[in-house]
Amino acid sequence: MPGNSTDTIAAIASGAGGAIAVLRVSGADATAVAGRVWRGRAAPGRLRPRELHLGYACTPDGTALDQCLLVRFAAPASYTGEDMVELHTHGGLYVARAVLAEVLRAGTRHAEPGEFTRRAFLNGKLDLTQAEAVADIVAAHTASALRLANRQAEGRLGRRVGTLYDRLTAVGAEVESRLDFPDERLGWLPPPRVLAEIHALRDEVAGLLATRRAGEILRHGIHVVIAGLPNVGKSSLMNAVLGRDRAIVTDIPGTTRDTLEELAQIRGIPVRLTDTAGLHTAAGPIERLGVERSLASLGAAQLVLWVYDASQPYAPQAPPPAVTPAPLLYVANKGDLVGEAPLPPGAPAGAVRVSALTGAGLDTLYEAIEHAVWESPDWREPECAVNARHAALLETAAASLSDAAAEVSREAWELAAVALRAATLATGRLIGRTAAPDVLDAIFSRFCIGK
Ligand code: GDP
């Protein structure tokens, strides 16, 4: 835990550059501290909570620093579950910092990154998945990522895992009762019923684990690299997808010397789109560097759009062997030059015919990208999707449940109890019912100060 968890903490919660800055104070002394800095109609403690009150943030000698609004929240009805005060000052960096300095002087400590949310978690306002979702909301780049984060913040994943935890606890208790009271056979479930419940729990864990890929893609996007020979229209395609002139388009082969990366959204999928310099024998050192970078991004790609010019013979435009470990999607560009004519001989089957110039075929390309990403044409956005931390714990739970099933089958109740305890512990860690401080440090360090 950074600092002391009972200190009253303060931080500017808003980003730089807005018209208004929000300064947050949380802890038992929040209202008293505000009373030392803020002057208004009445002392903050006598104002009604959850109402905005106009006043002035002042230095100790009564000099006004800024006219600002104050709102207080009385514990436990606040974000952190503690007494909280927010001051809404003018947005200039100097003025907001000057008011913060007074608030710190008046008896608060500067908050660590994520400390407000950490307190909300420690005070039972949020489970760990909801706290993580707060960071996901801030990091979301697409509508689908935001939907996922909002559903998690609202508690859908937490409730599902909470139910899993409760069922695991119940079956664990059932098994342990055989150890504690071996002579009281009354009330025990028959072993096949215990086994059926363990199998059902394992299926539920597997169902959650199956959302990992979707979670990874929706949260972090996928890395799509546009590659091909110079002048086939890679930059034009990138611009067509982005809908603006980000990459420089010229008809001199090899103009895109460096790789360009942009964030795009294709059918709700966050896509990090990289336009590479052409892969060709480079003339000079700068071009050679460009080709090297292209090869590096091809190595890191999750999907490659291999672009070729449909109006030219295909063979010389084919990708070099083993150019990338990522799946290749062939894009026959300059479709406007060839009309309905068949693609050049030797062209790969399944190539998507587009024209970066007119935009024709882009929808088909997006569809093909969508299918390639989800590895299925009828993909549905999941209700909730686990992240890497959740998945690691669920893997442990799944393995422990398999062990438990094997032990129950041979009626080795003691070993079954051990395995069930391990599964319960892993599941509890996921939602934070049992959480080690270092895990919390890792989670909350992702947050910005003031969150
Ligand atoms: P890159 O070197 O692969 O990035 O290719 P560019 O995007 O710079 O395009 C090379 C040339 O091909 C430019 O003159 C573009 O205007 C032209 N071009 C690109 N896409 C198309 C297309 O779909 N149809 C036609 N007719 N020309 C295109």
Q: Which helix (H) or strand (E) holds 362?
A: helix 362-374
Pocket test for ligand 1, best of 225, 229, 231 (most atoms within 8 A of CB): 231
Per-residue confidence band for 196, with pLDDT thresholds at 50, 70 and 90: very high
> Which residue's CA is the closest to the ligand 1 atom numbered 14?
251
pLDDT tens readout for residues 43-82: 999 999 999 999 999 999 999 999 999 999 999 999 999 9
Say if residue 447's pLDDT is above 50: yes
> Which residue's CA is the closest to the ligand 1 atom numbered 8?
249
pLDDT tens readout for residues 217-263: 988 889 999 999 989 999 999 999 988 655 555 555 555 545 677 88
Among the ranges 26-30, 180-184, 217-221, which has the highest mean pLDDT value? 26-30
Q: DSSP labels for 94-145?
A: HHHHHHHHHHHHTT-EEPPBTHHHHHHHHTTSS-HHHHHHHHHHHH--SHHH
> Which residue's CA is the closest to the ligand 1 atom numbered 9?
233
Q: Give the model's pLDDT for residue 246.
A: 55
Pocket test for ligand 1, best of 239, 241, 249 (most atoms within 8 A of CB): 249
Say which amino acid occupies 169: T
Say if residue 106's pLDDT is above 70: yes
Q: Give the model's pLDDT for residue 254.
A: 53
Closest atom of ligand 1 to CA, residue 337:
26
Ligand 1 center to 272 CA (angstroms)? 21
Ligand 1 center to 245 CA (angstroms)? 13
How many angstroms separate the CA atoms of 13 and 15, rounded? 7
Q: Give the model's pLDDT for residue 127.
A: 95
pLDDT tens readout for residues 289-332: 777 777 788 888 999 999 999 999 999 999 988 888 899 999 99
Per-residue confidence band for 2, with pLDDT thresholds at 50, 70 and 90: very low
Q: Give the model's pLDDT for residue 154.
A: 96
Give the closest residue to 277 by CA, choosing from 254, 304, 308, 300: 254
- Report residues whose beta carbon is within 6 angstroms of any ligand 1 atom: 230-236, 249-251, 255-256, 278, 333-334, 336-337, 355-357
pLDDT tens readout for residues 135-179: 999 888 888 889 999 999 999 999 999 999 999 999 999 998 888
Ligand 1 center to 92 CA (angstroms)? 46
Ligand 1 center to 222 CA (angstroms)? 25
Helix axes 156-180, 388-409, angle to 10 degrees: 30
Ligand 1 center to 308 CA (angstroms)? 10
Closest atom of ligand 1 to CA, residue 255:
2
> Which residue's CA is the closest to the ligand 1 atom numbered 26?
334
pLDDT tens readout for residues 339-359: 888 888 888 988 999 999 999
Ligand 1 center to 353 CA (angstroms)? 14
How many angstroms separate the CA atoms of 11 and 85, rounded? 11
Give the closest residue to 227 by CA, choosing from 276, 273, 185: 276
Ligand 1 center to 292 CA (angstroms)? 22
Ligand 1 center to 422 CA (angstroms)? 58
Closest atom of ligand 1 to CA, residue 230:
2
How many angstroms separate the CA atoms of 287 and 284, rounded? 5
Mention every residue, 6+ apart, whose C-beta is less than 8 A from residue 311. Answer: 334, 337, 338
Ligand 1 center to 252 CA (angstroms)? 10
> Does 44 sit behind a cis peptide bond, omega within 30 degrees of 0 on the bond before it?
no
pLDDT tens readout for residues 372-386: 988 776 678 888 999
> Which residue's CA is the closest to the ligand 1 atom numbered 12?
233
Closest atom of ligand 1 to CA, residue 239:
7
Give the closest residue to 327 by CA, choosing from 350, 344, 354, 293: 350
> Which residue's CA is the closest to the ligand 1 atom numbered 13?
251
Mention every residue, 6+ apart, whose C-beta is less than 8 A from residue 75. Answer: 81, 82, 83, 84
Q: Give the model's pLDDT for residue 434.
A: 81
Ligand 1 center to 432 CA (angstroms)? 53
DSSP designation for 429: H
Whether 104 contacts 30, CB under 8 Å: no
